[in-house]
Each structure stands twice: as C-alpha cells, then as structure tokens.
Amino acid sequence: MCGIFGYWDRQNRSLHDDALHAMALRLQHRGPDNEGIAHAPARGVAIGNRRLSIIDVGGGHQPMYSDDRQIAVVQNGEIFNYIELAQELREQGVLLKTASDTEVILRLYEQEGIGFLRRLNGMFAIAIDDAREDALYLMRDRIGVKPLYYRDDGQRMLFGSEIKSFLPLAQVNTAQTAINLVAIDHYLTFNYIPAPWTIWQGVHHVMPGTWMKFTRGAHVQTQRWWSLADQQEQDYEYGDWQRLLLRTLNDATKIRLRADVPWGAFLSGGVDSSTIVGLMARHVSAPVKTFCIGFADPRYDESAFAQQAAERFGCDHTMEVAELNMLARWPHVLHHLDQPHGDASFMPTLRVSELAAKHVKVVLTGDGADELFAGYDKYAQFFAQPGISELDDASFQRRYFESISLFSPQAKAALYRPEIAKHITDQMQGHDSFTQAAKPWFDEAQHFDRVNQALYLDMQLLLSGNNLVKPDRMGMAVSIEARTPFLDVRMMELAFRSRGVTKLSTDGDKKHWYKKAVTPLIGEALANRKKQMFTVPIGEWFKNESHDWLKQTLQKSELLEQYFHGRAVDLMLEQHQNGSANHTRELRALAALAIWANGHGA
C-alpha cells in the first residue's frame, strides 16, 4: 500500500525536485516507510511513490526500473496473485531480482505490454513511464479499490493517489482551480460525488478498470480494460453455487494473507466480517487478530456479536468502547477525503482503524458483499413496493434512482440561489444526475435482471464513489492497508453470473443464498442476525446537544451562503429540531460540505 504521484509535461518542461518532494510529503501518511522518485527532467516527466512496506519489506523499494532503465513503475496497492505470476515468469526464463509484486508488474509489462493488466488479481493504481515510447500510462484496478486522480490542462498533466498531492501545483501553474458546481449538484443527489467528477473543475478520476496513455500530442488514449457488465447470468443449482462460492471466497481470503508484516481483520460480528475471519482462521496457526469498537448506546453497539464471532474462531480480539459523539473528528476525516462526503460512518471507521494500527499494518474487511449480494434494507424495501415488477425499463431505472437520491430535483431547486441554478443548468445542458451519472451504467446492465441492475449501479457509483473510499482513506490516514476479499475479480464475476433471486428472494430475504452458504461456517445466529449499519446517531445530535453547533456551522459557511438560500437551510434546521421532519441526511451532507470548504479555503 502506498501513495503515487507525478507529472507529464507535453513541452518537456520540468518540475523542480522540491515540488516533487512536496507532492510526496502530502502522501506521507499513505507511505511512511520511504520515498522514491523517477525523474527525467529533460523529458518533463516524473513518477513517484511513498511506500508502506508490506511485501518484500527490504527489497520492494519503488520506483522499479527495467534493466536498461527505459521503463519505470510505481504502484499503490497489492497484486495478490504475484507469487503465481512470478513463477510463470521464472519458467519463461525471466530473472526476478526481488520478491516484490511491483517487479512482477514491471516484468509482465516488458513481456506483454499494457495487456498484462488482465493477468492481475489485486487492488492497484499504477503509473508506468515508458521512455521507449515517450509515454506515461496511468491504470486503475477493476472496481476502484485504489484511488487515482489527475488534472490535465492540455500542457501538463499532474496525478496522485489523493487530490491534495498535486492540487497546490495545479493552482499555481494554471488558472486558479475552481469549485465544480455540476459536482455539487451530483453530491446533493448521491451524498458523495460520483466518478469521474470531483469537487474541483478539471480534476478527474482515472476510472476503475481503465488505463490512460499520455503522449506529446493533445490526444489522450483511454481504454476500459475490464467491465463487470461482460458477465452473463446463469442458472445454478444451489449446492453447486455454494461450493463455488466457498471455494472462491476461501482462496480470495487466503491470497490476501500474503504479507511480510503483521495483519488482522475488522470484525463487527456481521455476516460479512465474520465470514472473512472464519476463512482466515483456516489458514493460520496463530489466532487471527481482530478489532472492533463498541458504543455505550446499545442501539449502535455491535461488540457483543463481534465477541461471539471472535470466540467461535479463537481470535486474539481487541475491543475498545469509543466516544459516541465524534463530531470533533469530522474536519480531520474530511481532510483525508479531499472532498465532501455526507456519510457519517467514516468517523467510526477512522476510530477502528486507529485501534488496529496499534497492532498491525494490514486488515481484511467485509466490504463489497452488500453490493454484490443485496445486503442493504433498501433493496428489500424497493422491490417490495407494489407495481415495481410491472414498470418498463425506463420507469424502473428512474424509480430506483429516485429511491437512492438524497435531494430531489425539486428540493435542489428550492435550495439553490438563482444564479447557481442557472449555472448548473447551463453546464449540464439539459441533463440531470440521472442521465449524466446513472443512466450510462444502467444502459450497460440492461441484460441483467432487475435486482442485478440495481446492484450494478451501486457497484459502479456507491461502492467506488463512497464505500471503498472509506476503508482506503481512513486506513491510510493511520498507515494501515485494508484488503477486501469479496472484491476479488473471481468473486465479483461469480456474483454477477448469479441471478437476482439468489440474492434477494421473492419474500425479501437479503443475501439469500450467500447467507445459507456461510451458515455452516459462522453459525445460524451470526448468519441471520439483523443487519446493523456501522454508524453513529448523528440525527439525534443535530436535534439535541449539537444543534447549536450545526446551526453555526451551516449559517457561517461562506460557501453555503454563496450557493444556497439561507431560508431553505434554516427551514430544514427548524423542522429537524421540532420533529416535524427528519432531515438528518440532508443536514449531514450540507454540514460536510461546509466543514470541507472551511478546511480548504473554498
């Protein structure tokens, strides 16, 4: 796990080494162990790395170079099948000088070119400077576990694992970076900003499953090298599916135990984390180190379930009771996110990451299972509505989109100041968040059944835009790596070959076959316990002890005053406090935007 960064200048202008070192320092939390930069000033290109040493601690320093030093590689992440790939290379006569997965990337690229990406099973963001072609490649893993951002003004491209790594250079060397109001509109729709948009104009994501090639010309070559939509649903007998699921998930977990440093797992006692810990325990001789936080309020405390799972699998379990009101942590969380996110669960995720970081450098998590196997209550609630099955495709898509939206178009219209609304309308050119951000994914998924269409949208938007940001940024804030066995490529493809009825049964049972499959491993009680969201009672704080804080945060925000009608915000505050409406999610999103803007001077 690391942070990567760099630049590509089409006029061969070089950045000063001090500027590159400053980029590295802004990513030091992602890689506290060492720093490396491959800089070719005469060509106007550099790629750099801040390393968190996990595999081949002594020999895996980055960048890695080809023998003739014409190719340089840096990566953020891990290639979990690197041992098997290294063996294949040796059998072909390739001499490997390290035991590092980064060298495997280098040698595969030498052998196969950019097509090597399909061979990788891992989470990664990679930069390759190929002087033979005078080209720079950026590439990202299949579903976006690892982040990668860039800004290209047509003359110089800057990139990094986090926006903060290069944003000061973008502001100094080009026109002042400005807030992207279209991204604000999407944020109010989704509670996060979906890729490829970011809060800053001109700053974009390298999209998941995509590589980009920068050369001296103005044209940038972009190619999607993997798509989950390539899967076709199949009919399985339950017994065959159960064996395939357990075999696949077991191996996905096993290869994610490859590390030369201490590792453990987040354990909430839910079906997903319990399953991962149960599989981990099969492959080790010492107890698995597990971590959870508890709360004094029993409505939000899962620690008893985590303890039950830890005892079942003989874990070395660590639990701490955390402070319930975590609002003081919010500015720190948003600093690491680089963008506003309205999800309050980032705060307890940071807290459990801090706990784990005292003991390990790697944790396995259960992230991704809810999106793969329909684990959220919203799926059962949506598909239980009368008439859903009778809707045509366009109506179904729009209805599902509306069900997951935060602010409706009407609510946004009431919130925006007229000049802001006009600017957004002009910029979106007749589109809205549905047609811009959601419909393209629905179009890809039309061959799936309705349940899988909804899950596919959430895989592409919610998972990569919010839920995977959480373990990456909060883990990296304290320099630990989070690994997600459910997002092994084989698991994702199996899930989307499985029909929706295997996930959400006709009577509304969520994770239907998956829970049955893992019950022998984790037990009936853990497999079928009611899902409990990992969050905090922020709505109650907004109504009671933190109402004055919230009011001050919203009313004193220059950005909110510039964009939104103050009376519309005040009305939400009043209705929420007096109980006539529950505006928790809307107020949370506005508060996150205000806190983020205050910290970034926006």
Catalytic residues: 2
Reading the block at residue 258, the tokens are 């490859």
User: In degrees, to the nearest 5, what angle opens at C-alpha 511 toward C-alphas 507 and 517?
Assistant: 115
Strand-pair category, 289-294 with 263-266: parallel
On the CB side of 245, CA atoms within 13 Å amount to 28
Cβ–Cβ under 8 Å, residues 547 and 394: no
For 285-351, the DSSP string reads SSPPEEEEEE-SSTTT--HHHHHHHHHHTT-EEEEEEPPS--GGGHHHHHHHHSS----TTHHHHHH
Q: Which residues contact 39 (CB under 8 A, 6 or more apart)?
A: 14, 17, 20, 45, 46, 48
Tell me phi and psi for residue 180, to 5 degrees: -90, 105
- The rounded Cα 473 to chain-centroid distance in angstroms is 8
| Type of residue numbered 111 | Q
Please provide the DSSP assignment of 437-492 as one string. IIHHHHHHTTTS-HHHHHHHHHIIIIIIIIITHHHHHHHHHTT-EEE-GGGSHHHH
CB 306 within 8 A of CB 268: yes
* Position 234, amino acid: Q
Q: What span, in angstroms and rounded, lies between the C-alpha atoms of 350 and 328?
A: 12
DSSP β-ladder status, 220-224 and 210-214: antiparallel
| Residues listed for the chain | 602
Ramachandran region of residue 96, left (φ > 0), alpha (ψ -120 to 50) or beta?
Answer: beta
